[in-house]
Amino acid sequence: MERIRGQGQSGCRTGRAAIAPGAKLGHFGRLMRPDILNPYFSALTELSGIGPKLAKPFNRLLGRPEGARTLDLLFHLPSSTTDRRIRPTIAEAVPGETVTLEVVVDQHRATPRGARSPHRVLVHDESGDLTLVFFKAEGGYVERLLPVGETRWLSGRIELYDGMRQMVHPERVLDAAGFARLPPVEPVYPLVEGLGQGHVRRALSAAVGLAAPLPEWQAPGRVAGQPTFLAALRAVHNPAEPSDATPLGPAWRRLAYDELLAGQLALAMVRASTVRGTGRPSRGDGRLTGRLRAALPFSLTAAQEGALAAITADLGSDSRMLRLLQGDVGSGKTVVALLAATVVVEAGRQAALMAPTEILARQHLKTIAPLAAAAGLRVGLLTGREKGRAREQILAALADGTLDLVIGTHALFQEGVAFRDLALAIVDEQHRFGVHQRLALAAKGEAVDVLVMTATPIPRTLVLTYFGDMDSSELREKPAGRTPIDTRAVPSERIGDVVTRLGAALEEGRRAYWICPLVEESETSDLAAAEARFEDLRHFFGERVGLVHGKMKGAEKDAAMAAFAAGETRLLVATTVVEVGVDVPEASIMVIEHAERFGLAQLHQLRGRVGRGSIASTCLLLYRAPLGEVARLRLQALRESEDGFFLAEQDLKLRGEGDVLGTRQSGFPGFRLARPELHGALLEEARAEATAILADDPGLTGPRGPALRALLHLFERDVAVKLLGAG
Ligand code: ADP
Ligand code: MG
């Protein structure tokens, strides 16, 4: 157990002291978005050239199914650049590098009608020959693009194929006039199906053209020599040099810093409002916890005792608790949480445990109910599925204090849910909830203590990014009696052997999970589909195979899980819905299909579903060869270690390397510009600055106030800020 300290720690304390007593933060609740930001929040379809048809793929690209705004596009940063000043001859071009070539067109070898072979074009320069390859070339398009005998400028990547130089689908083909108009350095953007580089570049040049200058929110001392926010946006999207569009270049760093500052400012305000005023100490007398401990079939590990002691001390103190309980899957967080809840019940108050899914909430209830009964705790369940009379009864019991502990989902912080005296909010698997949800639950009582449990240990930088300055307890030690999991990577061609061995294991009475990444067979994706796989495996193993996936109704899911827990089904085909928290100790085999597509943390979580009982467990990582470098390292790390804290650090490192290798798929949730693995130092600076800002001007009413408020809106941290006003 240790306190997470940043460099800004001492400053932070000052900041807190300055904010705590009666700071006027309430007016943020009514804060409207400043008009200067309107151009940033206009619908994407207002940009010239983006109609309803193009808007669809853009919404997908930008992860805004409900309709992207201009700002979403502006924050879509390049994955690389093409530098057209790199102009080798064909012979000099290094295979794999993007180059620009000046060539003369010699000959077309068109695709015969109906044939599947590509359309090839032979070109040359004074150093040698090159073949251009076009798939699905139709209607004479390639012939018009590359007339025989003419000179053309091509950008793209040269590859060696059977010892011949070729370029598949050149990125650009231009004549002399077109080439002259081209910027020397061009950004290259991540794409989705239905969009080309041209679409994204055109849309961005329109968006950058409309972006308005904003007041400077950074400290005067910091801005010297730095581009303004708008200049940085312009530079990233219209780079003069490749370094203008790389994460470590000055423009991108400026934007990343702004995003981090907004995040840290919001977190610091949340923190200030959480610790604002004094807490209400909850001190137990050991009556109920004694009974609960006696009812446990095991004794707590030293790590569990340590965490519990820290939590009990927090609960008993007169400031509010804001603590993370970090522990690997199976490290025994639930019982620690239950004991913490019991302490506040002893003090005559109530506790709530919020889980991210229905399955998990029910699972918690199942484990907790018998122990709670032994201790004399009254426990209830509240999820979206409790309706009508059942729901009313629970609500009444919470309001009059008949219930001591309620377990549930998001439903817990909805309107109409009132407690007699909520003292402790426990939030399980926090990374699925946002800061504002945590706050909304804490707002259900007076000076509620908050305990956040994460099953994926989070490296310190990320803790700071997402949670700000929180106390942390770690369960590094696993409960005794766990057997290590034999983890192996198996190429997908050997799936037949895997099925055969699985059959033998099922005969012996063992239970297994089979994880597939997608639910329905989709044309655009070759991911193994759970339903199809379920049919396959049923064909081999009959009624012993069950299925659970994210699109099932709650009751169906529960039934499938219950059948597996009871041993009626022995092989459970599942999408990643089993990822979080499900506990079937008898399960001892985990097969993960397309393991190369999962992140390390997610693989570790999935594997954690087995190895919970006394039987030696196996985890098979089926992968499709050839493996990329990062995927290979990921699977290797997983084979070598079961320590979630170690794997979390590796994950962060590999994401960083993935970036360097250009294989990065997506950023961290909640951040679009900043990359915690690359911008860690900026994060520390942003933390310190956020602290200093609030110490100086807690209500953001000073001269920098309007600019800082615009910053919070721009990065959409106003949600947390609004809740501040409400809570
Ligand atoms: P987590 O929520 O951290 O993933 P759980 O709380 O679900 O882990 O605990 C996993 C399993 O370990 C449960 O079956 C629980 O009963 C058991 N367990 C918890 N603490 C201990 C302990 N000290 N000794 C033995 N078993 C334990
Ligand atoms: Mg758990």
Residue nearest to ligand 1 atom 19, measured at CA: 332
| Most confident region among 79-88, 192-201, 289-298 by mean pLDDT | 289-298
pLDDT tens-digit profile of 493-525? 999 999 999 999 999 999 999 998 755 444 444
Helix (H, G, I), strand (E, B) or coil at 503: helix
Query: Is the CB of 368 within 6 Å of ligand 1?
Result: no
DSSP 247-262: TTSHHHHHHHHHHHHH
In 3D space, the residue among 60, 66, 67, 62 whose CA is nearest the CA of residue 44 turns out to be: 67
| Ligand lying closest to the C-alpha of residue 300 | 1
395 CA → ligand 1 middle, Å: 30
DSSP, residue by residue, 514-555: EE-SBSS--TT--SPBHHHHHHHHHHHHGGGEEEE-TTS-HH
Q: What is the pLDDT of residues 193-210, one digit of tens each?
A: 888 888 999 999 999 999
Q: Residue 4: its pLDDT value, please?
A: 35
Q: How far apart are CA 60 and CA 193, in angstroms?
A: 9
In the predicted structure, residue 561 carries a pLDDT above the cut 60: yes
Site of tokens 């070759």: 526
Using a pLDDT cut of 70, give the percent of the chain over it: 85
Residues 99-123: what's their mean pLDDT? 86
- Given a cut of 50, whether residue 319 has pLDDT beyond it is yes
**Whole-number pLDDT of residue 16:** 27
Give the per-residue pLDDT at 146. Answer: 95
Band of residue 472 on the pLDDT scale cut at 50, 70, 90: confident
- The pLDDT-based confidence of 526 (bands split at 50, 70, 90) is very low
Side chain identity at residue 560, one-letter code: A
pLDDT band at 363 (very low <50, low <70, confident <90, very high): confident
Q: What is the pLDDT of residue 9?
A: 31
- Mind listing the pLDDT tens digit for each residue in 632-677? 999 999 999 988 888 877 877 776 543 332 223 333 456 789 887 7
Q: What is the mean pLDDT of residues 296-311?
A: 95
Span from the CA of 380 to the centroid of ligand 1 (angstroms) = 21
In a 3-state reduction of DSSP, which class is residue 104?
strand
CA 330 to ligand 2 centroid distance, Å: 7
605 CB near ligand 1 (under 6 Å):
no
State pLDDT tens for residues 44-62: 999 988 998 999 999 988 8
- Determine the Cα–Cα distance for residues 228 and 284; give it in Å rounded to an integer: 55
Q: What share of the chain is helix, strand, coil (3-state, %, to 5)?
A: 45, 20, 40
Q: Is there a contact between 654 and 629 (Cβ–Cβ < 8 Å)?
A: no
- Is the minimum distance from the CB of 118 to ligand 1 under 6 angstroms? no
In angstroms, the CA 423 to CA 348 distance is: 9
More reliable by pLDDT, 579 or 486: 486
- In angstroms, the CA 59 to CA 73 distance is 9
- 584 alpha carbon, closest ligand: 1
> What mean pLDDT is predicted for residues 111-121?
78
Position 101 scores a pLDDT of: 94
Cα separations in angstroms, 316 against 218, 441, 602: 40, 20, 36
In terms of phi and psi (left: phi > 0; alpha: psi -120 to 50; beta: otherwise), the region of 574 is: beta
Catalogue all structural domains in the chain, each as residue range(s) with its CATH number: 33-81+195-276 (no CATH), 85-182 (2.40.50.140), 287-475 (3.40.50.300), 485-644 (3.40.50.300)
Give me the pLDDT at residue 460, please: 67
State the pLDDT at residue 220. Answer: 85
Going by alpha carbons, the residue nearest to atom 18 of ligand 1 is 332
Phi/psi region, residue 348 (left: phi>0; alpha: psi -120 to 50; beta: rest), is: left
Residue 40 CA to residue 232 CA, distance in Å, equals: 15
Q: How far is the CA of 26 from the centre of ligand 2 (A)?
A: 36
Residue 227 has pLDDT above 70, yes or no: yes
Ligand 1 in contact with 364 (CB < 6 A)? no
Average pLDDT over residues 250-274: 87
Ligand 1, atom 1, residue with closest C-alpha: 330
Q: Which pLDDT belongs to residue 466?
A: 64
Residue 19 has pLDDT above 60, yes or no: no
Minimum-distance ligand 1 atom for the alpha carbon of 327? 3
- pLDDT at residue 424, as a whole number: 95
- Whether the bond between 187 and the residue before it is cis, its omega within 30 degrees of 0, is no
For ligand 1, atom 27, name the residue with the nearest CA: 479
Q: Averaged over 313-332, what is the pLDDT? A: 87
Q: How far is CA 287 from CA 7, 174, 376, in A?
A: 42, 82, 10
Q: pLDDT, tens digit, for every residue of 427-469?
A: 987 555 555 666 677 778 888 898 989 877 777 666 666 666 6
Buried b (16+ CB within 10 A) or exposed e, 158-179: beeeeeebbbeebbbbbeeeeb
Residue 166 has pLDDT above 50, yes or no: yes
Average pLDDT, the chain: 83
**Lowest mean pLDDT segment, chosen from 102-106, 139-143, 332-336, 505-509:** 139-143
Question: Which ligand sits closest to the CA of 329?
Answer: 1
Name 155's bridge partners. Answer: 100, 172
**Cβ-based burial of 181 (10 A; exposed 0-12, middle 13-18, buried ≥19):** exposed
Say how many Å lie between the CA of residue 643 and the centre of ligand 2.
Answer: 16
Structure tokens at 652: 């962060």
Q: What's 154's DSSP letter?
A: E
pLDDT in tens, 688-701: 899 899 899 888 88
Confidence of residue 18 (pLDDT cuts 50, 70, 90): very low
Mutation test of ligand 1: which of 293, 296, 298, 612 has the most ligand atoms closer than 8 Å to its C-beta?
A: 298
pLDDT at 345 over 70: yes
Cβ(337) to ligand 1 under 6 A? no
